[in-house]
Structure 1
């Protein structure tokens, strides 16, 4: 049996995706030896998993690491999570004391069940943020979108936000399809990435947003692309 499947069947991981993340990041041992391949075949072996706090998606750790360095007090905030997916960002925001999180995504049935049932979360599915409206602006907007340039949702972010904006910038969706990538989809053209980041930063400046902090996410995207966290405050 594959190691990732074994972890799920034994209740050591809630999903294959979570199991694969645990394995890839070196948190799983087979017969006291760390294994990094989800396809590793096991039979009658002793398997153990490090006692760590696991979130519904690995993106949660990107946001949590970034928040620890920011002057933003999440407690009591009304928050909009754009591109919520399974809810990694939403989960961290709740942990930091957000009063309520509206989790918006164009997909459906993605938000983890325990977040879907949470009294401080509203799941808003099959919704393009560009068509989304609200009665009052959000104290904080977080964005983690894929397969679309974040520049295309700037008008919505500006319209819906009151003060704080946190964006996970993903070069793989910003540089264009013709930029050189390796067999795994990792961008190999550093100049194209730098150009895309500058274009993004210039667009934020034109919106009048004040850059508070910027850092490379401490873990890469699924394919291995470097991603970047930005925090802005509206004037």
Structure 2
């Protein structure tokens, strides 16, 4: 299938990274937009629909750079949070929460084991339920007032996702979905993580395959899709995104993903 091209400024607006063509054009001309890791200064430059695009935005746009990770996931997985009840696991300053609210989420439970991290504008938003000093491993629907949610997003650190899948699968509705940021540095054996950074593509592939197998055999979830984060973690770690659904939803089909190709593309396009 032939890949489709689109103007870079229009692609930025289509992905809802910025709100208007004027703003997108301004950012591009200021040198604040990277296409496949290369700074582009011409708004009319052409890009493929699935190109990696990052925008250097000040804090007033998003409370953290992590927002771009979820923006990529929502776009790639075709998720619309409008009028949905969501949970943000590992909310921290609230990059994911910020994006969900900007896309029309009805309510977001911002969950983090830390305290005092959530940005002030989110802390004071009536659509945000702040759940600080809360370990997601022990999160229950009773703690959410007895309700199950439509969407769970996760940007958890210093914990393997294998410890979170079981509690999280109990919190989504049958038709609900989960988007998790996969951080290989917290999934592989510590002795294989040099300086806290996983650089070996083979280790990335093994990590993703192992996690997918765990989901398939040890949880009531189904892996529906996967992609890579458009930006790396603070230490330079390449990260990935998994889309999961409930096994109880019989309309869903398990995805067969070529992790080798996914890892190859991630290494070639992220910086």
What does 1:36-185 align with in structure 2 at a 5 Å threshold?
54-134=61-141, 135-162=146-173, 163-181=176-194, 183=195, 185=196
Task: From the superposition, tell whether residues 169 and 51 of structure 1 become closer, same or farther in structure 2 (CA, over 3 Å).
Answer: closer
2:215 matches 1:204: yes
Q: Residue 68 of structure 1 aligns to a residue in which SS?
A: helix
Cα deviations by residue, 1:177-207 (Å, 9 ceiling, x for unpaired): 10042x5x32133333222211211122232
Unaligned runs of 5+ in 2: 1-30, 33-38, 40-55, 250-271
Q: Residue 177 of structure 2 aligns to a residue in which SS?
A: strand
Cα deviations by residue, 1:54-107 (Å, 9 ceiling, x for unpaired): 311111011012211223221111101111000000000001111000000000
* Pairs aligned (count): 188
CA RMSD of aligned residues (A): 2.1
- 1:125 deviates by 0.4
Alpha-carbon distance in 2 for matches of 1:165, 1:220: 21
Scaled by the length of structure 2, what TM-score is found?
0.65
Counterpart selection for 1:230 from 229, 242, 253? 242
Scaled by the length of structure 1, what TM-score is found?
0.74
8 Å Cα contact 1:180-1:189 kept in structure 2: no
Q: Residue 141 of structure 1 aligns to a residue in which SS?
A: strand
2:7 maps to which residue? none
Alpha-carbon distance in 2 for matches of 1:51, 1:142: 22
Alpha-carbon distance in 2 for matches of 1:67, 1:115: 20
- 1:161 deviates by 1.5
Unaligned runs of 5+ in 1: 1-25, 28-33, 35-49
